[in-house]
Amino acid sequence: HLIPTLWIFVLLHYLGSYALQWIYPEYSILRILNLLIPEVKDPKMITRDLVFDGVLVRLYWPKTSPAGNRKGIIFLHGGVALFGSIRTSARICHSLAHGTDSVVMCVEFRLAPKHPYPVPVLDCLTAVIHFMKNAKEYGVDPNCIAIVGESSGGTYAAAICQELVTREDLPRVRAQVLIYPFLQGLDFNLPSYQQYHSVPPLFRKRAVSLGLTYLTGKTMNVDGVLKGTHVPPDLREKYQKWINADNIPEEFKARGYVPLEPAPFSEELYEQVKRGYETMFAPLLAEDDIIRQLPETFLLTCEYDVLRDDGLLYKKRLEDHGVPVTWYHVQDGFHGIMAMAGLKAIEYPSTQKCLQNVIQFLKGL
């Protein structure tokens, strides 16, 4: 049974997807709804808006923090690179800064469809590199910087951490915090996609539709991708060892799972979406020699989320290669639960538990 908070998401879904889709695309409706989120006023917080190599960022730090040698936290917001902003992320950033007594940087990356993949994640990478190179200027210990990402921000966090493991000119990232991230675009019929295909707010079809808009910059028919016709046989075989329901613990199949045969391959569809096999878009596809070098990880998954199994598969890969993983699974959680933090009208009971688990992990670094 859906609680009242989830019914709000159901209402917004139908509002965006049906009532107004003839006037505006869904992501435009979501951007408008984001404007209804009130500004944060916090007299105990210092904020500075800066531009790092052309990318707008906002820094937060508590007024009570001692100067110098603080932890640094880089926060990358969700929204499939179609909506979301520094403004909508402010409550989480305030909580992270206060809760960990750290300097928090939030990135205002450019959004699709005007700026499709890879522009948003490259904006994030640019800001991250600048912050890490100049950490001491902002009172941050360069050896204690964590990258935190929520939803698609978790995708960017994972991709950026992979990108940085080979950079010898930068300090090593201390930890990555991945909050219900999207990590692969090959298989949309994993157990969680089957079990929770109609659970709001991230319906299975919606997840793929928004993801393809981010990837290609245009609206596409998602039916072929949902069936897997975009995956060439050779790539399906190559990645089968990593993206496979057999790698999902049996208890997560108890709500139902039916293995499906892949649909016939479509060369035309593959050509349209082939950049989706790049690891900056799908970090789960990274090679083993990259995975084994990744930093300590906090991974949050939610039971009622189509992306649950992306997280479980990444957890297995990290652990198989000796990367320390702290895993927090929210049994009554759904996609986007932590984005509600501080919004008392819709905040779910487990929202603060999610946030406090993240804070406790970061405090322990």
Which CATH number fits the domain that encloses residue 79?
3.40.50.1820
| Nearest one of 130, 150, 155 to 140, comparing CA atoms | 130
Neighbours of 305 (CB within 10 A): 26
Q: What is the pLDDT of residues 235-257, one digit of tens each?
A: 999 999 999 999 999 999 999 99
- Predicted pLDDT of residue 249: 98
CB 210 within 8 A of CB 120: no
**Nearest to 300, CA basis, from 191, 159, 178:** 178
Which tens digit of pLDDT belongs to each residue from 116-135?
999 999 999 999 999 999 99
Active site residues: 151, 305, 335
Pair 77, 88: CB distance under 8 Å? yes
Lowest mean pLDDT among 70-74, 195-199, 200-204, 321-325: 200-204
The whole-number pLDDT of residue 68 equals: 76
* Burial letters 123-151, b for 16+ CB under 10 A, else e: bbbbbbbbbbeebeebbbbbebbbbbbbb
Q: Which of 268, 345, 291 is nearest to 5 (CA)?
A: 345
The model's confidence at residue 33, banded by pLDDT at 50, 70 and 90, is low
| The pair of three-digit structure tokens given for residue 80, joined into one six-digit string | 């499939």
Gyration radius from the chain CA atoms: 19
Two tokens, residue 35: 């404007």
Hey, what are 238's tokens? Answer: 């190559």
140: β partners? 70
pLDDT score of 306 more than 50: yes
Q: Taking all residues of the chain, what is their mean pLDDT, rounded to a whole number?
A: 92
Question: Structurally, how many domains does the chain consist of?
Answer: 1
Confidence (pLDDT) at 203 = 92
d(CA 267, CA 321): 34
Tally: H helices and E strands in the chain: 13, 8
Q: Is there a contact between 365 and 175 (Cβ–Cβ < 8 Å)? A: yes
Cβ-count burial 184-212 (b if 16+ within 10 Å, e if not): bbbbbbbbbbbbbbebbbbbbbbbbbbbb
Residue 261 pLDDT > 80? yes
Lowest-pLDDT range of 30-39, 89-98, 325-334 = 30-39
Mean of pLDDT values over 143-158: 99
Looking at residues 133-159, what average pLDDT do you find?
98
Q: How confident is the model at residue 344 (pLDDT cuts 50, 70, 90)?
A: confident
Would the pLDDT of 217 be above 80?
yes
pLDDT tier, 18 (very low <50, low <70, confident <90, very high otherwise): very low
Q: Quick one: pLDDT band at residue 17, thresholds 50, 70, 90? A: very low
**Residue 20: predicted pLDDT:** 42
Paired tokens of 256: 């139902």
User: What's the pLDDT at 201?
Assistant: 87
Q: Can you list the positions of beta strands (E) in the chain?
A: 45-52, 55-62, 70-76, 103-108, 140-150, 175-179, 296-304, 325-334
Q: Which range, 39-43, 101-105, 202-206, 343-347, is most confident?
A: 101-105
Would you say 311 and 284 are in contact if contact means Cβ atoms under 8 Å apart? no
Q: Which domain holds residue 102?
A: 4-363
Task: Let me know the angle formed at the C-alpha of 346 by 340 and 352, rounded to the nearest 5 degrees.
Answer: 45
End-to-end CA distance of the chain: 38
Q: Which of 46, 52, 219 is nearest to 135 (CA)?
A: 52
- Overall residue count recorded for the chain in this entry: 365
Q: Which residues contact 336 (CB under 8 A, 6 or more apart)?
A: 9, 78, 151, 180, 201, 202
Contact 42, 118 (CB under 8 A): no
